[in-house]
Amino acid sequence: MSNADYLDTVFKALANPARRRLLDALKNRPLTTGQLCEVEDGLDRCTVMQHLKALEAADLIIVRREGRERWNHLNAGPIKAVHDRWLAPYTRGAVSKLAELKERVEG
């Protein structure tokens, strides 16, 4: 898969608010699929599993099985790739402009 296709998959996975909520729930610690179903209590288990499948396909989560439990771990690497490609270039310019403005105001 090309880098552009990979980023498209990540963006598509992140476009869904339910998936973003699932990722938010995984920020501090891995959770089982059952625990994630409780986070998204408005969705049935099958729908949560479909969202987890999309997140796994985008490499946004890493799944580990322990016995009967499926543990979902956040993989922040693809989010960093999006940041590095799309956000960092813009924020660098904004930070330098703010520093320049501060120097003008204070100087």
Sequential DSSP letters for 46-87: HHHHHHHHHHHHTTSEEEEEETTEEEEEE--HHHHHHIIIII
Dump pLDDT digits (tens) for 43-77. 999 999 999 999 999 999 999 999 999 999 999 99
Show the domains of the chain with their CATH numbers: 3-76 (1.10.10.10)
CB 3 within 8 A of CB 17: no
Three-state DSSP at 43 gives coil
Taking the model in full, what pTM does it have? 0.80
Strand order in the sheet with 61-66: 31-32, 69-74, 61-66
